Structure 1
Amino acid sequence: MDDKTRTEIEAAAFRRLLEHLDSRKDVQNIDLMNLAGFCRNCLSKWYSAAAQERGEAVSYEAARETVYGMPYAEWKARYQSEASVDQRAAFEQNRPKED
């Protein structure tokens, strides 16, 4: 497989991941963090960092809008719920320990 085709496939898979996350607004970021160790905000940070590595200026907020499909504040107001005690406990248990 040539590099161009691989990049196109990777981009299509990323777009599909964003579509899937958009269709599952019921899945909270804390759920993603607890199960997979990353969330929509992580994807936003990675997107912004990848752009910067290529000399493109994509702010974290602009990257969040790409990942969330709307401004983060709007998504948060519409879809984010308060984390439960169990969710917070699992997050604290699973989060990497700082040295």
Structure 2
Amino acid sequence: MQHLDDTTRTELEAAAFRRLLKHLDNRKDVQNIDLMILADFCRNCLSKWLVSAAEERGAELDYDAAREYVYGMPYSEWKQHYQQEATPEQMAALEAHQARKKAAQEGNN
């Protein structure tokens, strides 16, 4: 993508991000814990990254507004309608993932 000018690259990245959000919106059955186990990020991470990007540019964006954008509705509403209780298997998988991540980070130090 180095051959693209900055504006075009930014537009493509933004379009891909919007498509990711639409994909996640169409897959409400995919729980955040599953995303964390498999990809080490979730919808809440995306929200935090948006807030961080806004701060880097001197723009104001609070976390709740960012989450509403990512979830397509207020987080409390999404949670009430779509978030399921994590199973013991999911919790064990997340803990194992976090332990592997911690071990890898310690190995790089």
SS at structure 2 position matched to 1:25? coil
Moved over 6 A (4+): none
Which residue of 2, 6, 31 maps to 2:34?
31
Which residue of 41, 59, 63 maps to 1:60?
63
Distance (whole Å) between structure 2 residues aligned to residue 48 and residue 69 of structure 1: 16
Distance (whole Å) between structure 2 residues aligned to residue 63 and residue 53 of structure 1: 15
List runs of 5+ in structure 2 lacking aligned partners.
none
Following superposition, the deviation at residue 67 of structure 1 comes to 0.3
1:74 and 2:61 correspond? no
Following superposition, the deviation at residue 21 of structure 1 comes to 0.2
Distance (whole Å) between structure 2 residues aligned to residue 54 and residue 20 of structure 1: 27
RMSD: 1.3
The share of aligned pairs that are identical, in percent, is 68
User: TM-score normalised to the size of structure 1?
Assistant: 0.96
Distance (whole Å) between structure 2 residues aligned to residue 77 and residue 68 of structure 1: 12
Following superposition, the deviation at residue 56 of structure 1 comes to 0.6
Map residues 35-54 of structure 1 onto 2, 5 A cutoff: 35-54=38-57
Rg: which structure is higher?
A: 2
Which residue of 3, 6, 12 maps to 2:6?
3
Following superposition, the deviation at residue 53 of structure 1 comes to 0.5
List runs of 5+ in structure 1 lacking aligned partners.
none
SS at structure 2 position matched to 1:92? helix
Number of matched residues?
99
RCO greater where, 1 or 2, for CA within 8 Å and sep 6 or more? 1
Following superposition, the deviation at residue 20 of structure 1 comes to 0.1
